[in-house]
Structure formats: C-alpha cells, structure tokens
Structure 1
C-alpha cells in the first residue's frame, strides 16, 4: 500500500465544493455526538490530508486527538475510489482492548473522489454491562410459587372484547359509543361485570376512562 505522503500527492487540490462538504459533515458529526453521548464516538476524517486526517472527534472513546492520521480504512478509500462508501456495524476494537461496533461512511465530491469520512464507534462493553444488570434485575430464581397479579377471569374478559371487535372488523380502541354499549350489555349478561375490577380491566382494554365504561352500561 502506498505511503500517506504518496497518497496525499495523488489527491486533487482543495476547492470550495469540497470545503463545503467537509464543513457540513462536521456539523452533522456535532449533532450526532450530542444525540448519542456518551456511548458513541463520532469522528470526522479529512481524507485529503491522511497524515493528520482527524478534523473533529466527539465523545472521545478511542483516545485519539484532532490531527491524528487516517486509519487503514481511510487509506483504502484514498487509494481506491470504488471502495465501499458505507461499511455498517462491523466489529472493531479500541486501543485498550475494549470491543466496539463501528460504522464508516465515505464522502465523495462531485467527481467521485473520497474527500472525507464520518465514522461512528460504539463501546459495546458499556451496553453489555447494562445488559448484565438488566438480566440480573429481571431474573426470578426464587422458589416456585403459583401466583398471578392479574385478577381472575381478566384475560377472558379481554378475549371476549377482542372477539366482539373482530366481529365488527375493528379494534377494541376503535369501537363507537353504540358498539361499546352493545358490548357492555353482552358482558353484563355473561356475568363478566361481576368480576373483581372488571370496569378497570374493560376501560384499560378499550382505551377509555372508567366513567365512560360506567356510562356505557346504563
């Protein structure tokens, strides 16, 4: 592979179009950095000057600095304008061994030359730690005890409401007032209104207030 000095000599001279593109990429990087802080490092590379390509770095996770050189991927783009423009979600690694997931987007000018790259590097170890905490929190390793926090027959009431809505080719939340009144009459005749917390269960499943449900039963 050519040296950085050789590659930089091959690049076309800077022009206003290229400068505008690079400036826009820097603004996009700043916005992405603010949005995905602190888990995602955002780096802008100027591939016209590979020996000190990094123009901006947000949420610095890699320890690099502005003015540091291009990576192997950047050099590959400089050497070959047909190199893939988007490389998404590939496995990477920070200098200290932390695992990362990276995405790199090459930016071309109107002549098809790579002039910049926008790179995103996510510290996977941070998310794995969060995942481990959530797995521990959600695990239930106690003695097997049969208990339900859902009132008896609550699921049966929901199923009956779903069946009623399906028969009208609609959803429980979309039932009109007269349709809800018909439903409430059917539930009352079937004895479901005697179930503990039945009005609350029905109201939640229909997406209305309990007051509306009480009015529909009249």
Structure 2
C-alpha cells in the first residue's frame, strides 16, 4: 500500500479549508467580484474552486499567464497585490494574487481575487474630464483568462514574438525561450511541443534552445555574483 506524502495531505487540507473563503469573498463584494482558488500542482487544471464570473473561470480550468509567472518563480514567489489588467473582452480588472505555502514554506497554489472596475474607471474618467484635470489613463495590459491552458501559452508566445522565427538571429531566439521560461510556460505539460509547432521547428530543436537559454541565464547570474564579490 502506497504511503501518502504528509505534505500533499497538508496541501489538500489547506485547499479544502479555503474553498468556503472563496464563496465568502465573492458574496461580500457582489457581482463585480470573483475569487479563484488555484492548485499549482496541476497547472493545466489548476482551478479547484471559483465564485463569481468576472473572468469566466470554471472549476478544472487552467491558470492565467499571471499564475504561470508566479509558478515560474517557485518558492521565491511573493504576493502580487492590487495590479490592474484588462481581459480580452476589454473589461478592466483589479486583482490580487496571494500565494499559498505549506508548513515548509513551499509554494503550491494561490488565492486570487478579481474585481471588475470597468464602470468605476469610466465614472472616474468622466469626472476628470468634467473637472478638466489629467490626461488619458495609462492602458492596462491585456491578460488572457481562460479554462484552456493552450490559449494562455499561445497568448504569451504571441506577446513575445514580433516577427517570424526565421527572422530571429540566435541571441533573439535564446531570449525568446528565456522569456517564456521565466513566465512559467515550460512548467505546463506539452508546452514545449506547442511552442515548437507554433514556431515551425522540431521538438528536439525547442528543447535545445530551452537548454541553451537556461545555461546562458545560469552563466549570467554566476558572472554577476562574481562581479559583486571581488
């Protein structure tokens, strides 16, 4: 009989305890609020509880690119609070992502709160215009929210690829893979195959570029450390 890992049991217990909190947060702030509980052990199906419908998430859905970025940072991840983004449908959303840790300090999930502030922003802009104050607000970045992890990976790739793969020289190809890796893309199962297909290269080539990008990053970090401690 397999012995259950006590850390996994602890993590499961934390998620079960937080599930009612998700409902409570959404109920408190009403229809403009959504709370989402994520289990990062399953990036492709990380949503284990959700209340509200600001981003249209459902249980069993995938994490967003924000979650992938947190996942990529591992145990060094920190809470990201009160950041503003925009959905693909144009809704302005203020969010907070609070990482979940087990008793050893390992990050294994997150509790996210999303508040639709679209109408608040419109009223604020109208009042500013009536008062003759201020210029146009800064445009919030668009974030892909969806239950399909493939669409999230595609959106991240599109945001980092401004020309064809053939048009990139080797340093820019390595930079592309490094950037995607830093944002947690390759923590997702089958992402390397998806990226390779989108770029029109073989899986072996994609693995090679990823390995080289990681090696270059490690070397740069080492050189910086050496320079800081002569």
TM-score, length of structure 1 as denominator length: 0.51
Using the TM superposition, give the Cα deviation of residue 13 of structure 1 relative to its aligned residue in structure 2, in angstroms.
Answer: 8.6
Equivalence for 2:10: 17
- CA deviation after TM superposition for structure 1 residue 130, in Å: 5.4
Which residue is 1:114 aligned to? 107
CA offset at residue 128 of structure 1?
Answer: 3.1
- Cα distance in 2 for residues equivalent to 1:36 and 1:45: 20
1:65 aligns with 2:58: yes
Cα distance, 1:105 vs. partner?
A: 0.2
What is the rounded CA distance, in whole Å, between the counterparts of 1:38 and 1:126 in structure 2? 13
Q: How many residues end up aligned between the 2 structures? A: 126
Decide which of 76, 88, 100 is 2:81's aligned counterpart. Answer: 88
Residue 104 of structure 1 corresponds to 97
Task: Give 1:56 deviation, angstroms.
Answer: 1.6
- Alpha-carbon RMSD across the aligned residues, in angstroms, is 2.6
Name the CA distance, whole Å, in 2 between partners of 1:113 and 1:65.
26
Select the residue among 24, 35, 55 that pairs with 2:28.
Answer: 35
**Pair member with larger Rg:** 1
In structure 2, relative to structure 1, the CA distance for the partners of 1:121 and 1:26 (3 Å cut) is same
Structure 1 residue ranges, 4+ long, deviating more than 4 angstroms after superposition: 129-133
| Cα drift, residue 87 of structure 1 | 0.7
Could you tell me how far apart the structure 2 residues matched to 1:76 and 1:65 are? Answer: 20
Change (3 A) 1:91 1:107: same
1:124 aligns with 2:90: no
Q: Aligned to 1:122, what secondary structure does the other structure show?
A: strand
* C-alpha distance 131-73 of structure 1, shift in aligned 2 (>3 A): closer
| TM-score normalised by structure 2 residue count | 0.48
Q: Which runs of 5+ in 2 are unaligned?
A: 132-230
For residues 80 and 132 of structure 1, the distance between their equivalents in structure 2, rounded to whole angstroms, comes to 36
Distance 1:83 1:60 in 2: 30
